[in-house]
Chain A
Amino acid sequence: MKDPYSVLGVSPSASPEEIKRAYRDLVRKYHPDNYHDNPLSDLAQEKMKEINEAYDAIQKGQASAQSSSGGYSSGGYSGGYSGGYSSGQTQSGYRPSGGVYNQVRQAINMGNVSYAETLLRGVSNHDAEWNFLMGSVCYRKGWMDEARRYYTTAVNMDPSNAEYSTALNYMNSAGSYYRAPQTGGGMDFCSCCSSLMLADCCCECMGGDLIGCC
């Protein structure tokens, strides 16, 4: 097993608060929500396991060091990567495409996205679930424009379905940082002034003047 301190990126002399903060930051980074529908979610899951084990190991070490004082209760993150799609979405009503959709869900869970797509292309009735599943196929392929469009259609067709709106919400919250307006890189007030001063100096060297007062 790797050194638990290096897994959490802290020094062995770090205080319990520092360790806890590092642990929380890492949990936030590799949280299942960030890898929802991601083809690499298995790797994120492994990483999370490693972090939890490291944190537990440190906690145990500290607990035995301060045996009588009670120590920490292990606060390891235990929420899970519940792993993709449950195949039997029990919904009331008869669904002619139910069998195909179950196969599609299985194919997506196995990571066989192209097979899932082929199955979906064979379905003629494009209902809400079809749009949702097509959205997750696109999402896994990195086709973000179409993923968003399919998810949105699914939500519009069946606004009460929690699964569809959750998928769209994940997408919205993941990209929120990058959608915010970006600043910097352009000309700021200071460099604008200094450029004018420089231009004035150049003009004066040549015998002219750009800014009359200086």
Chain B
Amino acid sequence: MYGYVRPAKDELLVREYESFRAAYCGLCHSLKKKYGAAARFALSYDLTYLAMLYWEPGDLCTERRRCPASPLRRKKCSCECPALEKAAAVAVVLAKGKLADTMADEGFFRKLRAWPAYVAAKRWAKKAGIPEYDEAVKRRLAELAELEKAGCKSIDMAADKFALCLSAAGKYASDETRGRILSQVLYHTGRIIYILDAYADLEEDRAKNRYNAVAARYMEDGVLDDAEKEAIKETLADSMALMEADFELLPETVYTPVLRNIIKLGLPRTTQLVLDGKFKPDNRHEPD
């Protein structure tokens, strides 16, 4: 994934930051334990956010562990719990979906480079044991590819397909009501990620003459003026407002403050950085 969904670190309490890091490390360990060390590449801030959303009010299990990123000092890490396992399963399926996309429409050399990872990701996705989710992601991404090929002018319609990929992961919540809420929260998250990513890729897509949803919707004249930039910010703000309202319906857990920080401070800040062209997607970088 992309790493857009991250907390505003300077606004977190130390214990909140430590619990966020424990979730990040916990997800990394969960990926390694079930799918092998190479599966760690599926780790990202976005999936850590998903793990925290799956968290149950009673869950709180941390221990200190070593890992290749911190071989000397043991780091606090959430140990195996259902939320992390579910997020790890979703992570490998999404990673496979993204690699399948690369295999479908990139050039020969990129394909060759992605091939080993794709073969491995296919194996992990099978092992994840959520074939219906795998199927849903495959279907949505295929629909998205169709829309992109047709040069879809509606940013909502294009973002919808990606948002539905994330939203489908909501049903793995522990009960039906939470599932309903999570699906909505994840839908808005997916829409925001898709639009931010399209914006960040504007230059590259233009250079390679590829479809870009932001360009198709806002840049018919080939330029993005301030009013159009403001419109992008506005539509993202609309999604964030809905996302916040939906999120507040979830029961409180140990991760509620971190998640609230992500939604109310982290995402708006990331949005600003992306719009200003200053965002650095160091998504596989361990939080420091």
Contact = CB atoms under 8 A, between A and B. Distances in A.
B126 interface: no
A177 B241 contact: yes
Nearest to A37: B242
A148 B234 contact: yes
Contacts of A147: 238
Given A175-B237, A175-B241, A186-B278, A146 B8 contact: no
Contacts of A12: none
Contact of A43 (B11, B160, B249, B271): B249
Interface in A176-214: 176-179, 181-182, 184-186
Interface string B224-236: 0000000101111
B269 A178 contact: no
B248 A30 contact: yes
Interface string B3-24: 0000010110000000000000
A30 B11 CA distance: 24
Interface stretch (B63-71, B141-149, B184-192): B184-192
B235 A185 contact: no
Contacts of A174: 238, 241-242, 245
A20 interface: no
B273 A145 contact: no
A47 B156 CA distance: 30
A184 B246 CA distance: 26
A185 B273 contact: yes
A186 B163 CA distance: 29
Given A142-B163, A146-B156, A185-B8, A38 B245 contact: yes
B177 A43 contact: yes
A34 interface: yes
Contacts of A184: 8, 10-11, 265, 269
B217 interface: yes
A186 B8 CA distance: 11
Interface string B141-185: 000000000000011110010010000000000000100110010
B239 interface: yes
Q: Which 7 A-B pairs have the closest CB atoms?
A: A178-B237, A143-B156, A144-B238, A175-B237, A174-B241, A182-B272, A175-B241
7 contacts: A35-B245, A38-B246, A47-B249, A142-B184, A145-B231, A147-B238, A174-B245
